[in-house]
Structure 1
Amino acid sequence: MRKSYPTKDRYSYGYAGLEWTLGSSSKPSLEWVNPVAMMYDELYDEALRKEVAALKGRVTNVENAVNDLKKDSDGDGVADQFDKCPNTPAGTVVDGSGCAIVFPKAAEATPTASADAYSNIQFEFDSSVLRTSSYPVLDATSADLRASGAKVELDGFASSEGTAAHNLALSKDRANSVKTYLVNSGVDAKKIKVKAYGETMPIADNSTEEGRVLNRRVQFKK
């Protein structure tokens, strides 16, 4: 058996509550006020406009101060306010205070004087071994010969100690020592001629040690 239900029920609803606003009663409720529109309305207030203008002035002053801090008139990377050496030339390397850094100059290599080239090469007693003190003269001579392509004659000599035959051989060995040095430094061997004179043609007195030292030599002849 089908059960029937009543179809003419009636329903109704009722609400009750309280509402209050916090803050000043002079401010309208935001429920029905456009805040952006209200802000523009408030700008019509003279005092508020002055306050906004003063705020803009302070912001402008801050911006100007920042721009002044960044200002670099000479472009050296140091702001004018901290630049102790203004108007440095473009490209100058400066320190943190804006002053040019003076770098120590590199020591320049002393060029071998041309007067050193072709000077006599001296030897120890009864020796054909080159002295290290002779290297600068030999280097200068080598540089000149390589640059000019000139030919040179090496004349070997000895002091008067020992036999004439021994001194002749010794003087030749001395000239060949100089030739070997020059060839090893790049001089063409074909442009070097060697002659030996032994104890002949001294340039100083062989009776003194000072004179004999000067006679133990190789001379250059161009």
Structure 2
Amino acid sequence: MYVPVGVGAKFKLSEVVALNLGYTMNFTDEAFLYGPSAVNSKQRFANVYGGLEFTLGSRDKENLTFANPVATLYDELKDPSLRNEVEALKQRVSTLESTVDLLNKDSDGDGVSDKFDKCPNTPAGTVVDGSGCPIKFPEPVEKNIVSESYPNIQFEFDSSVLKTESYPTLDKLARELRESNGTVTLDGYASAEGTEAYNLNLSKDRANAVKQYLVNAGVPASSITVNAYGESNPIASNATEEGRRLNRRVEIKK
């Protein structure tokens, strides 16, 4: 085994010819490389070389051995026309940077640059539109509750069908709800005939029948709240037919 250690140099004589010189020392692990020796030590040998290198191919292409891109760039900048072009590019970049700084400037901090802000110096926290002017939000319209009392809507035994005699009351209620943008609560009830579960569903159907009439008359469904109470909260005794008739009702509440 041997390890070569060397140094060399290459000199450019022309665009196609180069002088190549070098020296190499080869270190071995052999004490008898040249035969028996009185000195018992590792032996070595050296090489000295010199030669000419010729670059083949088109002369339009530079030999990469001696190419220096940085030096080439520096040489090109010595050209007055290239230097003027670089200076012009620097000026354009400087102008663009100034324009960007101007566009980013927002003195009142409303998110719209001063160049496009039609309402400068708006107070901090003001909600503005794309032109920097405060947005005027419409005042919230509060829904009004129905302003007067209405009679109960009565129903026949075991029925959720509206009576024609209820139409004038419901028409008046619908008109007021539309004009005032108000809200109303409909509480459905039943008499104490039948099971509680059945009467609860019946009272719900009665309240929904009134709601459907109002919706058909132009009242938004979201303005109507429906409750069902079945046979609870009677307003008359369920021991008499007259009392049971009064308990079959839907109450209109403000």
Q: Relative contact order (alpha carbons < 8 A, sep ≥ 6): 1 or 2 greater?
A: 1
TM-score, scaled to structure 1: 0.47
TM-score, scaled to structure 2: 0.42
